[in-house]
Structure 1
Amino acid sequence: MSYSETLEQALSTVKQQAVLMQRCLQQRRLMDALRHTSIMLTELRNPELYPKPYYELYILIFDSLSILSTYLVENHPKHHHLADLYELVQYAGNVVPRLYLMITVGSSYLKCAESPSEEILKDMIEMCRGVQNPIRGLFLRYYLSQRTKQLLPQGAVDFNVNFIVTNFIEMNKLWVRLQHQGPLREREQRTKERRELQILIGSQLVRLSQIVDDNLSLYKEQILPVMLEQVIQCRDAVSQEYLLDAICQVFPDEFHLATLDALLEATTRLNPEVSMNKIVLTLIDRLNGYKDRTEQEGTKNGGASLRDLNLFQNFWNYLSNLNEERPDLPLQHFIPLIESVMTLSLQWYPQNLQNLDALYRFTAQKCQDYGKEVPANAEYLFQNLLTLQNNAALSKLDANFYYKLITQCASYRDLLGLQNVLPQKSILNSILEVLLQHTPLPGGESAAENQSDASSVERGFTVATKVDLDNLLSIFEPLIKASSPDILPDRKAVNKALANDDVADEDENSWILDLTQENLAKLSHIIMRSVSQSGDPIENIQLEVEILLSLRNWLYKGGKNIKYTYPAIITNFWKLIRKCHLLRNRDSQNEKQYSEFVKQFFKYVSRSINDLYNVCGSPLADALYKLNIQSASLADQLSLGEIAYDFLSQAFTLFEESLSDSRTQFQALVYMAQSLQKTRSLHEESYYELLIVRCTLHGSKLLKKQDQCRAVYLCSHLWWATEIALIGEEEGVTSDFYREGKRVLECLQRSLRVADSTMDNVQSSELMIEILNRCLYYFIHGDERETHISVKYINGLIELIRANIKSLKMEETTSSTIQLAEHRLDELHIHNAEGTAKEGNRFVIGLDGSYIDVPTGNGGRASVTSKLNSIHLNEMIQIPVQHFNRTCEYIQNQRDVDDRFKVITLGG
């Protein structure tokens, strides 16, 4: 009999013969049924079929043979005897049909109580040796395994184990032999086909695991040694990798714990092409899963055995032996093994950092033995190893863990230092993100000691010594010294943003946000919040300042990057100063020492600001100017007038030497005036008067007249202090306010002269109205004799403003007439402008002189208009007109509540 040429023909033949077989069985024509079965089985002799089509054909035939087997069992011994049939089918012409029929009849006979089961099983498995073609032989033995699955002798454990192991060994040999069939160019195709057939071999291991059940001694003494010997002797990479992985998967975890050394030793004797790390990782996953299940179930005996085990030592010995026997093993194969052992250590011994230290030391030594830079294709492996990002226990690895790992494991820092620059920075950024995610406990106390809730352990780390901090910061040195931002925005977007400013600083682009430096600044705050606290407040302060100074020294190595990080240092010094001030008020015995602390910390602040200026230069002047003023404000709040004066003097020095842009100068003086007006401790030795005179003088020397005018009238408030409720001051009760009305009037008069001399009538009128508003403020908040702002002065100012507005309206009319004559489009624009004026002007002038577009509709958003030609002249004129009308309306309303306003003349 011959087989079909194609799969379609073969499937058709099988279906046809199966129907004929069933018809013959229904008519009890057994011989004819066996003949049709033999024809059907002939299709399994086709050597041209690949594994997938062969398996499809096998499944169809298997179902048909199941029908035959059922018939044979049901009709024994009434219509035939299976012992006779077993002999009869062995006379079939071809070996493949013969053996399939023999197994079918033999397995049917095994279901009978009187059958000699062991003899039949031995005979069938021996007869299977007659098929040595890899694919045909594999499926034949797989068929034998399927048919005898539930028919092995009860109680004959040794016989059953030997039967399955023998079948397994022969199947594996056939499977390996398949690799060497055909031409060499088809090797990859045959490997792919073999992987499609591996489940046939794995089924034998599953059968063994079912027979062994919980008999550890049987597995350890009879099964595992035979299987490992077969795995090692076959020398086939595909077979070794799959079978060892299958052994780790199908047998119980307890068996692996008892035979761990044997399993690990077997991996050292495998084909060099085998991926050992995959096998070891599978084994470790099983062991980790076993630990989790045992802990969840709360098994008493299991829990005790877990405590007694030292699995790490087993794997450590394995790595050491592997390194000796396979010194040529590349880093790409060794690192995943180390990472998997690290995973096991973190799962079984999460608090034992010595294990991790040993593994990192081992890895660092391997890198040094390698003698070259880490290859590019292995960089990601080291990144996984150092960040532990692929670790199954990653959810348990909080900031506290990484802090201890870095500070207590010198080998971790050594291995990190061996990495190439780019992957090293990537690793450091990953660690930095983890450290920033934690929440330090108040006072830096350990969460484990402070709270009983287990979840609180993840809240943060504790910085106990300067040595630990140095160990932590030493690994971040590459980030501290980074010369360029990790993330830069689009250059076109930057240029467009800068184009909207009148004057762009030449080093403006250097302020593009560097996320790494920002994170380092955040880390500084977290470290200071995490400093360990003892019972002695003075010792706590000393430790905190030691930690902060160490932080400052490390960040100083960043060069110009300190412009991102040093403000965090300065603000933490401010916190320490406030803390010492509070402790000084509570502890009178140590008041002198706390006072010394405060003065010393202010010196550190001054030194830090000077470092910023020396390293970064003038581009940072505006920020340093504000830092000096803020430090002065803090000193003033603590009644340290001399220190406050020193900081303010430094601020003025920066203003004079480094702030050249007119807009920046004006804003700087406004900020200075706001801060000075709130000071209270500078009146001794005339510090306050010297500073406010200096501030006013600088305001009078600004480049733009409008800036001069506004700066000087704002400085008038420096001679008229107002209450600060937070420090207990109250108008009418507090009597020592610094007030000199004569100087107030002088400032307003100087401002008015500047406003009057301004050539732009719109700006001149607007400035006069602003001065009028300041006069009204002093008129309300002080007696005329004290402020020297008289009704006569206010009335004169109102009259002057009215005269200017009248001239503006004449200009408005003239402008409208000319433009109506010139162009129709401008006529439409004027019409729209007049409509806008009637509804309420949509423009105002900001404090810095810019025109601000204020939408009339609800939900609108104001925008600054820098180009004057975008505003029509009539709209510009309406700005002071509307402003003056609002001021007059205010005066009119005030007459109802304050009789003094009745003598103010508004005119017609």
Structure 2
Amino acid sequence: MAFRTPEDEDTDESIVTLRGPVLTAAEEQKKWLQEALIAVDRKGGIMRNSIEAKENIIVVIRAAAQMLDELRTNLLEPQNYYELYMRVFSMMETFMEYLEDEYRAKRHTLEEMYERVQFCGYIVPRLYLLIAAGAVYIKDGDHPALDIARDLVEMCKGVQHPTRGLFLRHFLLTMMKGKLPGDPNRLASDVRNGATEDGGTVTDTANLLVQNFKEMNWLWIRMEAGSYANRNGGSTNSVTAGSPTTAVLPAPSPPPTVSIAASSWSPDTGTHPGAPLGLPQRSLRAARRTQQERRAMCVLVGINVVRVAQLDGISRDVYANTILPHLLSIMVRYCEPLAQQYLFEVLIQVFPDEFHLFTIDKLFGAITRTVSGVEVTELLRSLMERLCKYAMAVQDGVADVSSPEEEAKLRDLFPMLLTQLSGMPISYKTHMLTNTVIKRTSSVPPPTPMMLGAYVTTMRHLVDVAMALYGRSTKRRFMSLSNIIDVAAAKFSASTADPSEAMNGAEAATAAAVSTAASISPAAALAAGQFLVHVITGCCATVQEVMAMEGIATLTSCLPFLQRREVAIAVCEVALRGSTAAPVLPSVSKAASSGAGSGGLKSAAVVTAPPPLSRPITTLEDVARLFELLDPFLVEQPDAPSDLGLIYRYNPIVEFVEEQNLVCRILHLLSNDDPAVYTKMLTGARKALLQGGARRIPLTYPTLMTLHRRAALRLYAQYQRAASSNSKSDEGERDGDDAATAAASQAMKAVRKCFSHMHSGDSKGILEVFAVEAPVEALKEYLRCSNTADVCEQPETSYELYVAALTLYEGHVEDTREQIDSLVACVNSIYQMRHMAEENYEVLAARICQYASKMLKKRDQSYLIAICAALFAKKQLSRESQERVQECLRRSLKLAGQVLALAQLELYVQLLNIFLRFFTPKSGYLVSVELVNELIEKISETSEVQRSEVSGDGNRSAVDNEERDKAANTFANIRLFYRNITKYIRSRQSVEERWNEIDV
């Protein structure tokens, strides 16, 4: 393919031509790697041949150096460079064996070989050869290992290219393994009493490894700049003519057997929060690629910390006073988030639990000084879980403590963790600005404020620790959870404070109440809501424990509506699920298994038995806090989103009703043996529910009225016990009589007060408020309350409530079906009255009959007047009133004769069913047999007429046939109803003589 510019069309200048396909980046990497591997194999073969031919040592060293030249490449990505490194590493094992054989055969001294390898021209091959010779030198055991290792560490500073330098230093670590003081399985120079035969100590080895770690960490961080790479073919180092150009980027795992836990960082599609240096000049794709390459190189750096942790003979004091401060200083002064995240994770994982226990303050202090972009929450969770597992292992006898001091620290582990977390600086901003400049500071940086949401998430992990440690002790569990929530609530409360304004206490409280939710970032609010739900549902055994934690209400009040609603749901769940001897303990997330043991924290106890009935709420303080937490269910919230789809998942109407059902179920948990206290609880509930408005009152007030009726019946039962005690007392026990009389009077006064709350007469009573929102339902509630008042021997109150019900009927019941249902309910209610005066009873009965006679349809009039006959069938009424039963039934039969067609037959059958209710010995046979037989005769006549109409002649249209089929089905149902009635009559005729007078 040729490319020609317009200016070149008429000239004789040469044209640049590209022949063959253009390779992709992956294909180029594969090609370069294969070329490098072929070169290594070829040059390594020359080296082997030279060794086998017993060539001069200079020839062998030159062949090894030419093979090592391939590691100077500047083109391969980390995984490919690692593969090349491994091939070279296997060749270098042969070279080291050659050096050992030469020394044993005494053909060359170690000093001579160590000097000969230094004549190599390029620094990368020369240092690899020096390290190999130094390893043989140290292995001899007659020379100072630490001095040689220090020289090699210093000489490695000559390679400042990040990839080449990291692999070079990793090669040094691999070669020095098992050869330095304190290394496990060290042969000739094992540590004796803290010192070695060559004068070094394990502390010197640790310091040397820390120094190498410092250099490798800076090389690793410098990869972020990306200025060292030239993937288009150039190189920062000169390369021999016959070797491929390669050099850049990291390799995943080290070749030896040492391994460490993988970093929690997983490759993602975006760049790390700590943006790379020079990001405006580099593409996003390049930045993402660099991040992935650096993650692949992390193990090379972390292996230094692993080697330090594996040293034998390091005491707790040496670690706390020497090693840890050096490591933490390196980690916090090299301000790059990926490095800090991974290295802190390695530090937490590899060192013993005992060391962490005695250095909690140093670890927390260093973690808080990491740059923004580091997942501080994950680091603290890993540390806390590891210490918690250690404490639980000691409690269970699996692990032993080394001193009383350690035992005391384990006993106070939770207070120490809480103290450290409570003193952490907090940022209340919506998001944390990330510094895009990667730097190395000369001093320890100041603490970085932790985002409020991340802080609350950390406190949630502390809750899991508390549950694991104190799950078996109810008191200690409650105290630890209360302390955690109080600290979290204090942090959230501080976010609403405005230090720029000086206000008095009342003004400050008002301002905080107005701006609380608005000042919390969405992430912090979400984390706090999840934190509270976790504590309430996962850690609290009963709702009483939830109410006892004052911090829950304080923290909840700082949250926006959606989170307050979630907390309210959690409180209802705990209150309604029942109580147990211990809570259902939480299980730590799967990501929490970064400690020494396997898996996350385990609960101290697990509840498997089904919970018993819900525990009642018995104190006024608990009720007050309960309604405070349930406020999102009770009142329209000003900060609630207007889009109901943000609040409810599926059907807003159905889910809203379910919310109110939860409130009603909670109301049934209110209880107290003292009726006066119980009445106060209901008064508080009434005030809370009154603020619910037109949407909530129709759903919640029926339950509230039921509870008031129940309270009135309890008070009346108390009155009856007091009156019974008074009647049974002897005449000489005047003091007892007075006390019983006073108790009875007090109970009856409380009964009256209870009914005054339901119907006060000033439009503020429960029934009156309910009637404004739902008049039809309120009518039936009035009737129920009237019956309850009658049971409680309050005839005047009963009459007043009944009159109010009829007033509602007159003013608000307009639908015919509702009118029928309401009048039937009125008849059923008044029929149950026992203490109402006959005059008042007759007045109410007359009004009901009037309403029945004023129905629009004759059919409804006939049916309801027959129903009203029951009003005059009570034995307590006079004989004159009872005679009105026959009058009502006769009038209903007369009205039924004016109904047309099929409806008349159905009405006749219904009337027969009603008539037979009064033809019993218990009712006194208030209906005459003549009237019953007359009705049966009308049914027979009407039935014959209807049968002929529904049978038809068959010459009708399709519409007529459909109507006829419908009428036939209705007729069949009516006849079935009638046959059932006649069967009942025949069954009665067999046992009662008077029923034989009925002709069926």
TM-score range, shorter-chain basis? 0.7 to 0.9
Residues in 1 aligned to 2:699 and 2:746: alpha-carbon distance in whole angstroms? 32
Amino acid at match of 1:809: R
Deviations 1:409-444 (A, max 9, x none): 4xx65654454xxxx2212222112221235899x9
Aligned residues of 1:666 and 1:711 also touching (Cα < 8 A)? yes
C-alpha distance in 2, partners of 1:719/1:172? 101
CA distance in 2, matches of 1:213, 1:692: 101
Deviation at 1:482, TM superposition (A): 1.4
C-alpha distance in 1, partners of 2:545/2:536?
Answer: 13
Q: Secondary structure, in 3 states, of the residue corresponding to 2:919?
A: helix
**Deviations 1:458-481 (CA, angstroms, capped at 9, x unpaired):** 998886754554455345445432
Task: Point out where structure 1 has 5 or more consecutive residues left out of the alignment.
Answer: 495-508, 532-536, 722-734, 831-868
Shift, 1:269, TM fit: 4.5
Q: Is the contact between residue 403 and residue 461 of structure 1 (CA under 8 Å) also seen in structure 2?
A: no
Match of 1:50 among 77, 99, 103: 77
- C-alpha separation in 2, matches of 1:163 and 1:150: 14
Q: Deviations over 1:184-240 (max 9, x none)?
A: 414554344223222221111121122267621111111112112222332334333
Corresponding position: 1:606 with 2:751: no
CA shift in 2, pair 1:702/1:149, >3 Å: farther
Cα deviation for residue 553 of structure 1 reads: 1.3
Residue 757 of structure 1: how far off its partner (Å): 0.9
CA distance in 1, matches of 2:68, 2:347: 33
Q: Partner of 2:855 in structure 1?
A: 702
Q: Deviations over 1:666-719 (max 9, x none)?
A: 11122222333334333x444444433433332232223322222222233344
Aligned residue for 2:34? 8
Equivalent position to 2:822, from 664, 668, 684: 668
Partner secondary structure for residue 702 of structure 1: coil
Residues 579-598 of structure 1: CA distance to partner in whole angstroms, max 9, x if unpaired? Answer: 33344444533333222222
The 1:158–1:214 alpha-carbon spacing in structure 2 relative to 1, beyond 3 Å, is closer
1:359/1:379 CA distance change after superposition, 3 Å: same
The answer for the alignment partner of 2:455 in structure 1 is 337
TM-score (norm: length of structure 2): 0.71
- Match of 1:821, SS state, is coil
Instruction: For residue 826 of structure 1, report the CA deviation from its aligned partner.
Output: 5.8
CA separation in 2, counterparts of 1:461 and 1:387?
25
1:838 is aligned to none
Distance in 2 (alpha carbons) for counterparts of 1:870 and 1:218: 104
Whether the 8 Å contact between 1:18 and 1:37 is mirrored in structure 2 is yes
Aligned with residue 360 of structure 2, among 252, 255, 260: 260
In the TM superposition, what is the alpha-carbon distance from 1:363 to its structure 2 partner? 3.0
State the 1:556 CA deviation.
Answer: 1.6
Structure 1 residues 415 and 8, CA gap change in structure 2 (3 angstroms):
same
Percent identity, aligned pairs only, is 24
Going from structure 1 to structure 2, the CA distance change for 1:438 and 1:390 (only over 3 Å counts) comes to closer
Question: How many Å separate the matches in 1 of 2:861 and 2:463?
Answer: 71
Q: Which amino acid is the alignment partner of residue 173 of structure 2?
A: S
TM alignment of 1:83-122, pairs within 5 A? 83=110, 85-114=113-142, 116-122=144-150
The equivalent of 1:767 in structure 2 is 907
Q: 1:707 to 1:210 in 2, by over 3 A?
A: farther
Where does residue 625 of structure 1 map in the other structure?
Answer: 779
Match of 1:251 among 345, 351, 363: 351
1:634 to 777, 788, 795: 788
Q: 5 Å matches for 1:385-784?
A: 385-388=528-531, 395-398=538-541, 400=543, 403-404=546-547, 408-409=550-551, 413=553, 416-419=556-559, 424-439=560-575, 466=620, 469-474=623-628, 476-482=630-636, 513-526=656-669, 528-529=670-671, 537=673, 540-560=674-694, 561-587=696-722, 588=725, 589=740, 590-607=743-760, 611=765, 615=769, 618=772, 620-682=774-836, 684-720=837-873, 742-758=883-899, 760-782=900-922
Aligned partner letter, 2:177: K
Shift of 1:293: 4.0
Structure number with higher relative contact order (C-alpha < 8 Å, ≥ 6 residues apart):
2
Match of 2:220 among 175, 191, 201: 175
Quote how far apart the aligned CAs of 1:78 are. Answer: 4.7
Q: Is the 8 A contact 1:639 1:681 kept in 2?
A: yes
Q: CA deviation at 1:90?
A: 3.5
Query: Shift of residue 166 of structure 1?
Result: 1.4
Would the alpha carbon gap of residues 14 and 402 (structure 1) be closer, same or farther in structure 2, given more than 3 Å must change?
Answer: farther
Residue in 1 aligned with 2:154? Answer: 126
**Mapped partners of 1:264, 1:388: distance in 2:** 22
Change (3 A) 1:135 1:781: farther
Matching residue's letter, 2:699: Y
Q: Please report how far the alpha carbon of residue 134 of structure 1 lies from its aligned counterpart in structure 2 after TM superposition.
A: 0.7
Aligned partner of 2:966 in structure 1 is 872
Is the counterpart of residue 163 in structure 1 residue 208 in structure 2? yes
Query: Residue in 2 aligned with 1:863?
Result: none
CA contact (8 A) 1:312 1:345 kept: no
- 1:382 aligned to which of 503, 508, 525: 525
The residue identity in structure 1 corresponding to 2:126 is R
Structure 1 position 41 matched with structure 2 position 170: no
Distance across 2 between alignment mates of 1:361 and 1:870: 78
* 2:290 corresponds to 1:190: yes
Partners of 2:31 and 2:156 in 1: CA distance:
25
Give how far 1:314 is off. 4.0
Work out whether 1:811 is the aligned partner of 2:916: no
Where is the helix percentage greater, Structure 1 or Structure 2?
Answer: 1
Distance 1:623 1:610 in 2: 17
Are the counterparts in 2 of residues 237 and 271 from structure 1 also a CA contact under 8 Å?
A: yes
Instruction: Give the partner amino acid of 2:943.
Output: I
Q: In 1, are the aligned partners of 2:897 and 2:904 still within 8 Å (CA)?
A: yes
Q: Which piece of structure 1 moves more, 63-72 or 584-593? A: 63-72
User: Post-superposition shift, 1:16?
Assistant: 5.5
Q: Post-superposition shift, 1:793? A: 2.5
Q: TM-score, normalised by structure 1?
A: 0.77
1:850-865 alignment to 2 at 5 Å? none
Question: Residue type of the partner of 1:304?
Answer: A
Query: Aligned AA for 1:248?
Result: I
* Residue in structure 1 matching 2:420, options 315, 320, 325: 315
Distance 1:618 1:405, change over 3 A: closer
Q: Does the C-alpha gap of structure 1 residues 889 and 204 become closer, same or farther in structure 2, counting only changes over 3 Å?
A: same
Q: Distance in 2 between matches of 1:363 and 1:48?
A: 52
Contact 2:771 2:779 in 1 (8 A): no
Given that 2:536 and 2:571 are in contact with CA atoms closer than 8 Å, whether structure 1 keeps it comes out as: no
Is contact 2:71–2:84 with CA below 8 Å preserved after alignment? yes
Matched letter for residue 202 of structure 1: G
Closer, same or farther in 2 for the Cα pair 1:611/1:886, shift >3 Å?
same
SS in 1 for 2:104: coil
How far off is 1:95 after superposition? 2.6
Instruction: Name the SS of the counterpart of 1:368 in structure 2.
Output: coil
Q: Secondary structure at the match of 2:855?
A: coil
Q: Is the 8 A contact 1:398 1:438 kept in 2?
A: yes
Residue 138 of structure 1 pairs with residue 166 of structure 2: yes
Cα 1:801–1:143 change in 2 (3 A) is same
Distance in 2 (alpha carbons) for counterparts of 1:627 and 1:230: 76
Aligned length: 805
